[in-house]
Structure 1
Amino acid sequence: MNRSSVSNGDYMEVMVSPSGPKMLLARLKIGDHKSQFDEDLGRATQKRIRDHQSGRYLLQLCLEKWDIPLDSIEVLRTANRAPYLSWIEGLWRNDTLPGISIGHSGEWAVCALIEAGWWVGIDGEPANRGIQENAFDMMAKGEELDWLRENPNQAIKIWTAKEAVQKAEQLGMNLNPRNINLADYNVHSFHHDDLMVSVAWRKSGGKPRTSEDDLLDATRDAMKDNPDFEIGCQATRNP
């Protein structure tokens, strides 16, 4: 296990990544952390704010470890609230950035980075957390539900794996966990000390459009429609 000390004496712990695309998986104890990527959560509870800020701070640490220029990027959300990295408007960069995922449960925040061109989802829960049997039919159906009732000790593994898939698909709860067949996805589940951790990954889909994308498309269309179209400015030189 690789540990990196942070300012308040806590440690970012780097966890072992599965084989496949390049990834960075890490966890950090939830605490009074601040990050440049913090969102305004309004009237959220103090616990919710600490969870969120710890996750965003862990993301910042992971990006620093991968030498991603923090002063050039921001964290935005898709229509389904999935977080993603974007170049700050005005830089006119469209090279693809790594995929990200953040989670938190109990006393830990978890974060995953994956190389550009992929989406990733991560979820971590206390390994000894029990899930009531009356909740099983909210996460499984058919033969899987029958198997889960016969193997209730596997519930937390199935729960984290399906949450990881929801995040990797960038759909969240818009993807019903009962309809997720884990055999259809790239999913890896493992114990890290007291945590059950699951990570899922897939090839990335289309990225949300920006105002710069719209301007570039409009310019391209204008150039096609008018061969004399020019970009630039005219300067008048004083005699």
Structure 2
Amino acid sequence: MRPMELTPRLRSVAQLVPQGAKFADIGTDHAYLPVWLLQRGIITKALACDLRQGPLDRARATAEKYGLTEQMDFRLCDGLAGVRPGEADTIAIAGMGGETIAAILSAAPWTWREDCLLLLQPMSAQPQLRLWLQEHGYTIAREILTREGDTIYTTFQVKAGPMPELTAGELWAGRQSRGEADPLRSEYLNRLIDQTGRAVEGLRRSTRSADAGRLDEMERAHRGLLELREEWLSWQP
């Protein structure tokens, strides 16, 4: 049987898994990620966890199809509730909202104590997740941008440790540094600038007093993103 191929979104997570990792895939669904890693010998065992029975059954079916059932442990659990400290040193949480990812990590503080490698791919609420990580002693060592269809996905490589305070723009777009060669960075910044710009326009038209604080927050984010784009463009040859 031909080896499984991953979509670009999942491949961006897989490329960050170190050789020999004790790997757990949270919200595994079809278990494509652990199966791909097992087939290539990057890992030798995997925990596949999901909140619902249906996705976990699909994960088992995928493992059976590729003859990998004995190398996988399937657990029906909410987030990391079914994973004991020490069972995993590399944890992938992909395909969920940023606030859900933060809640999963909040309920499993051992991931910080044991200095686990966290590979996070939030589908939404990225600023909120970056802020939560900063406030709870995690550092984002690296961010990878990946295009799949019309969507640009961001994968965070996270470890325990202090992270310098992020600016308003960096909460939305992550840190950037001179010498990066990310072909998607400019487009990513432009999309976020458009998104926050539309939000600012809408909030300025709002007559609700509750939106005043939100307007200030979005204006700071928009200005910060414009500054990041100007900086990024100044570094390009």
TM-score range, shorter chain: under 0.3
When you count strand as a share of all residues, which structure comes out higher?
1
Compare CA radii of gyration and give the structure with the larger one: 1
Between Structure 1 and Structure 2, the one with more helix by share is 2
TM-score normalized with structure 1 length: 0.25
User: TM (normalized to structure 2)?
Assistant: 0.25
